[in-house]
Amino acid sequence: MSKHVTIKEVAAAAGISYQTVSKVLNHQVKVSTATEERIRKAAAELGYRPNLIARSLRSQRSRMIGFSWEPTPPEQSNQIYTQFMESICYYSEAVGYHILMFPYKPGSAWVNSYRDLIETNRVDGFILSSIEMNDARIPFLLEQSFPFVGFGRANPEWEFPYVDVDGAVGMRKVVEQLVSKGHRRIALINWSETKSTSVGKNRMKGCMEALNAAGIVVPSGWIALGEGDFAFAYQNALKWLQAPLASRPTAIITFSDVMAIGVMNAALKLGVRVGPELAITGFDDSPPMQYMIPGLSSVQQPIWEVGRVAAEMLQGILNDAPPQNQSVLLEPSLVVRESSSYPAYSV
Amino acid sequence: MSKHVTIKEVAAAAGISYQTVSKVLNHQVKVSTATEERIRKAAAELGYRPNLIARSLRSQRSRMIGFSWEPTPPEQSNQIYTQFMESICYYSEAVGYHILMFPYKPGSAWVNSYRDLIETNRVDGFILSSIEMNDARIPFLLEQSFPFVGFGRANPEWEFPYVDVDGAVGMRKVVEQLVSKGHRRIALINWSETKSTSVGKNRMKGCMEALNAAGIVVPSGWIALGEGDFAFAYQNALKWLQAPLASRPTAIITFSDVMAIGVMNAALKLGVRVGPELAITGFDDSPPMQYMIPGLSSVQQPIWEVGRVAAEMLQGILNDAPPQNQSVLLEPSLVVRESSSYPAYSV
């Protein structure tokens, strides 16, 4: 490694006082362009690089943002976390910060990881994901007055800055597209209400509102709430699709892609043609959706943008310029493919 | 945040000398269980926590491991990076380290990111992924004598510690399974040789060796090397499968899952039954493979284990106890599903 160059040496080479050079290099003062140019040139020629550890100690800043996530089950194809990490890395580095990743732990052990990182001065703030409705991390961080931004919502009693995707809007788009094709007999498959995140609840809310607006009543037997995995979707769809043509759903809305694939498998098992005879939609537009036969329609989340907003909100907080809006909801889009592009089947 | 407790205060509370307490808390000396217990108790009661930034400055250690990855194309379902990150996070945290994530940049800009992190003392070492055959990061880090471990191989002229999955063994397992079902007319779809990583080359090598061992000669027209994406696989399979039954391949080996799905789409398009009439295999066993109809056979990489070995090798290097083996190759497994479980089709 090159020998460490000090600010003193840069000041001597530039012929400018130590105090001024220090302030300019630490972005604490503005000087004339000519002076700044002289300092930058001397710094570049000597190979000056700030020692960030020493700087952290002086400023009590680590220039790190803590991030941890709860792994998705391996059966689920989901690129949301890689995309989100790419985005928060990119937008944080642009302002001199890096992401410190630490592992998920169940229960209170996770909160302890956050506590340790704060008390050992490892991070300046956190970006939270995998947020549960009564997530213990949130009251803990609020109590500590420690900077953080959430990707996702929690118990509405807690006020904290977050960015989220408006799942309700995504589902409204799904319902409106199906209604535009003449669907009236629509069934739903979602996670159980006992699942402790707000994600499924918000999607369901948007779905029901849009169905009501279209004057569609879903029989309670056509709302399946449970595990929310492949097998759960497969079993429910199999049951519904064995009913006579005139009394079975013409469309099945699912709240995740893996459930949509489960429904597709059930349809193929029974010889029901996906598209012409049965519409299916998913959520997340994960990579296989476009390659299924037929291609499956799905709601696409603007994850790169979520990461950008989260990183920028946190930077605002760290720089004592908190965002004007404490909460940002971003709108997802609907990718319509063959699985929901046919007119509703009628006998 | 709680007031900062010093080692001096812990020593006073425990009634033990500052030097001893300091060494015990910094894991530099072993004392009797009773003494250690007294120190731990005093430390816990006072709420003592080491200030890692101050400690880093003294020891010139940041206790961070740098990690960066080149995003996979969005069309490809691949959970390798999330699994790998989970693993290196987990095994690094267990020994007091965290992962510092920084963004991918094309070309020499990426090397500059590594240089910046070294010169600003942000990291103690790196774990490299997305390694190319003539990856500029490797000679740079070797020249700097900066600790790193690669996930993947590069130009064999460079000696550096790495862990990799033995893709050749994975392909050998694929070929042997197909041969056991009587397949002799086998076609291959791989990335072009000009692709600059060793991944495709190693897989191809294992494939050709196993085919040779079985006395199978693949006509040059049945080896497709190109983009290696969905469309490339689809087009080639479409061409082959239009030949008369007796002169077309009974099995198509692909080197990634997205290519296997491309072949499956071509077969369905032409009414060729996947499984009974055509065997297909992929690589990575990404989540959709098990849900395709029929389920697609695929090679599964031991990614959690790759992460563990990489993290542990790097810790060895950082603790002046470098691993005995500079290179570790881990064996993948083959998950056999309906797409390759039928006897070879014969007319």
pLDDT greater than 80 at residue A25? no
DSSP string, B206-271: HHHHHHHHTT----GGGEEEE--SHHHHHHHHHHHHTS-GGGS-SEEEESSHHHHHHHHHHHHHHT
Average pLDDT of chain A is: 90
Cα–Cα distance, B312 to B306 (Å, whole number)? 10
CA dihedral B55, B56, B58, B60 (to 10 degrees): 160
Domains B64-165+303-330 and B167-301+334-340 share a fold: yes
Identify the band that residue A344 occupies on the pLDDT scale cut at 50, 70 and 90.
Answer: very high
Cα–Cα distance, B175 to B171 (Å, whole number)? 6
Q: Is A93 an 8 Å CB contact of chain B? A: yes
- Is the CB of B103 less than 8 angstroms away from the CB of A120? no
Altogether, the residues listed in chain B come to a count of 347
Cα–Cα distance, B97 to B299 (Å, whole number)? 32
Calculate mean pLDDT across residues A160-169: 96
Please tell me the predicted confidence (pLDDT) of residue B79: 76
Q: Which of B241, B235, B233, B174 is nearest to B204 (CA)?
A: B174
When comparing pLDDT for A27 and A92, which is higher? A92
Cα–Cα distance, B207 to A187 (Å, whole number)? 47
CA distance A207 to chain B (A): 26
Cα–Cα distance, B89 to B86 (Å, whole number)? 5
Q: Confirm or reject CATH 3.40.630.30 for domain B64-165+303-330, answering yes or no.
A: no
Please tell me the predicted confidence (pLDDT) of residue A239: 97
Cα–Cα distance, B319 to B297 (Å, whole number)? 42
Cα–Cα distance, B7 to B340 (Å, whole number)? 64
- Is the CB of B51 less than 8 angstroms away from the CB of A121? yes
Cα–Cα distance, B168 to B331 (Å, whole number)? 9
Residue B261: phi, psi to the nearest 5? -70, -35
- Is the CB of A99 less than 8 angstroms away from the CB of B98? no
Distances in Å between the Cα of B2 and the Cα atoms of A119, B6, B337, B343 are 8, 12, 57, 69
Please tell me the predicted confidence (pLDDT) of residue A208: 96
Half-sphere exposure of B173 (CA within 13 A, CB side): 20
Residues 6+ apart with CB under 8 A from A98: A63, A64, A65, A89, A92, B100, B101, B102, B122
Reduced to 3 states, what is the DSSP secondary structure of residue B170? helix
Question: Does ipTM surpass 0.85 in this model?
Answer: no
Among the CATH numbers 3.40.50.10310, 3.40.50.11890, 1.10.260.40, 3.30.230.10, which is that of A7-50?
Answer: 1.10.260.40
Q: CA nearest B75 in A: which residue?
A: A287
Q: Which residues of chain B are modeled with pLDDT < 50?
A: 1-2
Residue A57: phi, psi to the nearest 5? -65, -45
A99 chain-B contacts, CB cut-off 8 A: 100-102
Please tell me the predicted confidence (pLDDT) of residue A50: 64
Q: Taking phi first (over 0 means left), then psi (-120 to 50 degrees means alpha), and beta for anything else, what does residue A197 get?
A: beta
Class of domain B167-301+334-340: alpha beta
CA dihedral B126, B132, B134, B135 (to 10 degrees): -30
Residues 6+ apart with CB under 8 A from A259: A189, A228, A229, A230, A232, A233, A282
CATH superfamily, region A64-164+302-328? Response regulator (3.40.50.2300)
When comparing pLDDT for B155 and A66, which is higher? A66
Amino acid (one-letter) located at A96: G
pLDDT greater than 60 at residue A1? no
Does residue B158 contact residue B165 with C-beta atoms inside 8 Å? no
When comparing pLDDT for A54 and A112, which is higher? A112
Q: Is A261 an 8 Å CB contact of chain B? A: yes
Average pLDDT of chain B is: 90
Please tell me the predicted confidence (pLDDT) of residue A8: 84
Identify the band that residue A2 occupies on the pLDDT scale cut at 50, 70 and 90.
Answer: very low
When comparing pLDDT for A25 and B273, which is higher? B273
Does residue A110 contact residue A137 with C-beta atoms inside 8 Å? yes
Q: Which of A120, A258, A262 sits opposite B49 (nearest CB)?
A: A120
Distances in Å between the Cα of A47 and the Cα atoms of A15, A23, A27, A50, A326 are 17, 18, 18, 10, 42
Q: Is B28 an 8 Å CB contact of chain A? A: no
Q: Which of B93, B104, B118 sits opposite A1 (nearest CB)?
A: B118
Question: What residue spans define the domains of chain B?
Answer: 7-50, 64-165+303-330, 167-301+334-340
Identify the band that residue A56 occupies on the pLDDT scale cut at 50, 70 and 90.
Answer: low
